Amino acid sequence: MAWKKPSPELIERFSAALPKHRDALPKKMFGYPACFVNGNFFVGLHEENVVLRLPSALKDRFSELAGAHHFDPRNTGKGVKDWWVVPQVTARDAMRLGQFLEAAYTEVRQLPPKAPKAARAKKKLAK
């Protein structure tokens, strides 16, 4: 089953809501708009959904994610650990989405930086 492209409206709202910090790096993940901080994916689009990666302990700090569903792109019923679908009520409101992504960015920015792929590959070879 092929994934659908997000609507131009969602892409525009998402792009405008991204945190405006030097270390917030917009790029693509699986062909969808996404944003990374210190090498860590923290938010992106998938079809018509805004998805967020937050460890469970951080997820519980956000009332916006109360009752959020696990991101489950393959419909396995399990979802992806620490990945959440942002509820539509938040995703549809540009101001609310921007405030939420700014707060999520602040939390994810405090996580340890992810090593670049080349450095991780060399580390595995050394073992």
Query: Taking the chain, what is the end-to-end CA distance rounded to the nearest angstrom?
Result: 38
Q: What pLDDT was estimated at residue 92?
A: 93
Distance from C-alpha of 91 to C-alpha of 89, rounded to nearest angstrom: 6
Chain-centroid distance of CA 108 in Å reads 10
Q: Report the mean per-residue pLDDT for the chain.
A: 88
- Local confidence band at 2 (pLDDT 50, 70, 90 cut-offs): confident
Q: Residue 62 is inside which H or E element, if any? A: none
Give the DSSP H or E segment for 81.
none
Record: fold of 8-126? Yope Regulator; Chain: A, (3.30.1460)
- pLDDT tens per residue across span 52-66: 998 877 888 888 888
Q: Residue type for 50, please? A: V
Conformation bin of residue 107: beta by default, left when phi > 0, alpha when psi is -120 to 50: alpha
Q: How far apart are CA 12 and CA 2, in angstroms?
A: 22
Distances (CA, A) of 25 to 2, 33, 38, 55, 80: 27, 11, 9, 20, 22
Per-residue pLDDT band at 73 (split at 50, 70, 90) = confident
Ordered by start, the domain boundaries in the chain are: 8-126
